[in-house]
Chain A
């Protein structure tokens, strides 16, 4: 950029313009030499040679016009480009949001059709009669595939700092709490409307808590159905309860446990069986296998007393 003038003139110039042409320290020159030194030198050349021909004048005028034109063009193009890009980004974002909402609506429709079909299945099963089919209901109940009602506990949990991204409550704390509920005798547990089944996981992804791979927002409500006379009493002595009472004092986490007479918990999402297959002929022709499975795999004591229509009577039959 700042080409050095040829030998003798350079000496002459550096003599009168002083330190400008002495290589100065980098930061100093950055802070002081804002104007391109070429301007000063060109002006010096002009003063040395004041008689300029009109041709050079016109040429320099042309240079000026061309340069400013190019600069203006550049600024405008950059402006247009930036605007076009941001529009594209917005468009893509909007498209993705639309996709997500459409997929969510689709999932909701499918879920409602699943529960409808399940109802049909259950009524058809009830019409077909008891026997081995009663065991199916019991198994479904065990894996939280039926919506249930009953008395139990409602835990209101709120982490005020969670929205800011530095919440005190982690996934493992909620795991401990829920495990406490199970060990206190809960028969069905739902976290903010997401029913826990045998394979449910409570995990954390970034700041969000995922229950059964569904994000659960603060504040969350944990509902557990169980024997009202012993559930709370036994729950209070679990380590999960102790941890959350200390969270309440240390971090200001809202933690309230209330006994509720009538809770209604939804059914869990059905297990996606994608790879397992049942050999059709044997199960159809040999119903005794199904019976043995149900009888051996039903250690829950409520089975014997529960009626086939578990959804209306509720699962929590006090058998503690």
Chain B
């Protein structure tokens, strides 16, 4: 519950202050968004299965963002940046779908 409130407050702060994103950060923003969605759905599923742990939640989120950004950064330097960001999106997307399906099964029992 507090987590939802904090999420809403974060969104509100972001919308109201609308900070400008530096150009070099541009390519990593979509990756970070996908990693964030993955973390949120993973945390929700863990909560529903009663294994939630805040530290794991935060650390896995931060580490996922960093690793994804690192992969994309390396790819950019090697000329395969867009392919690697596709790979990151695919992997995280599969996890998002799997977690969403688990949450659905948990809530609707179907």
Binding site for B on A (CB under 8 A): 1, 30-32, 34-36, 38-40, 42-43, 46, 59-81, 84
Contact = CB atoms under 8 A, between A and B. Distances in A.
A237 B58 CA distance: 82
- Contact residues of B: prevailing secondary structure: helix
Contacts of A77: 14, 18-19, 21, 29
17 contacts: A38-B59, A59-B55, A61-B2, A64-B2, A65-B6, A67-B54, A68-B7, A70-B61, A71-B61, A72-B7, A72-B13, A74-B10, A74-B14, A76-B13, A77-B21, A79-B15, A84-B18
A34 B95 contact: yes
Contacts of B84: none
Contact of A75 (B9, B14, B57, B61): B14
B14 A80 contact: yes
B50 A43 contact: yes
A74 B36 CA distance: 8
B108 to A, nearest CB: 17
Contact of B91 (A30, A32, A64): A30
Interface in B31-67: 32-33, 36, 39-40, 42, 45-46, 49-61, 63-64, 67
Given A34-B99, A39-B46, A81-B29, A73 B13 contact: yes
A78 B32 contact: yes
B54 A60 contact: yes
Contacts of B11: 72-73, 75-76
A69 B7 contact: yes
A39 B56 contact: yes
Interface of B: 2-4, 6-15, 18-19, 21, 26, 29-30, 32-33, 36, 39-40, 42, 45-46, 49-61, 63-64, 67, 91, 94-95, 97-99, 102
Contacts of A42: 51, 53, 55-56
A66 B53 contact: no
Contacts of B32: 74, 78
Contacts of A69: 6-7, 9-10, 13
Contacts of A35: 42, 45-46, 49, 51, 99, 102
A61 B21 CA distance: 29
Nearest to B52: A39
Contact of B60 (A38, A60, A70, A76): A38
Given A30-B94, A68-B3, A76-B15, A38 B53 contact: yes
Contact of A70 (B10, B18, B91): B10
Given A74-B32, A75-B36, A67 B58 contact: yes
Given A39-B51, A75-B11, A75-B36, A34 B98 contact: yes
A67 B10 CA distance: 10
Contact of A39 (B10, B53, B58, B64): B53
Contacts of A81: 21, 26, 29
B51 A40 contact: yes
Contact of B6 (A38, A39, A72, A84): A72
A31 B94 contact: yes
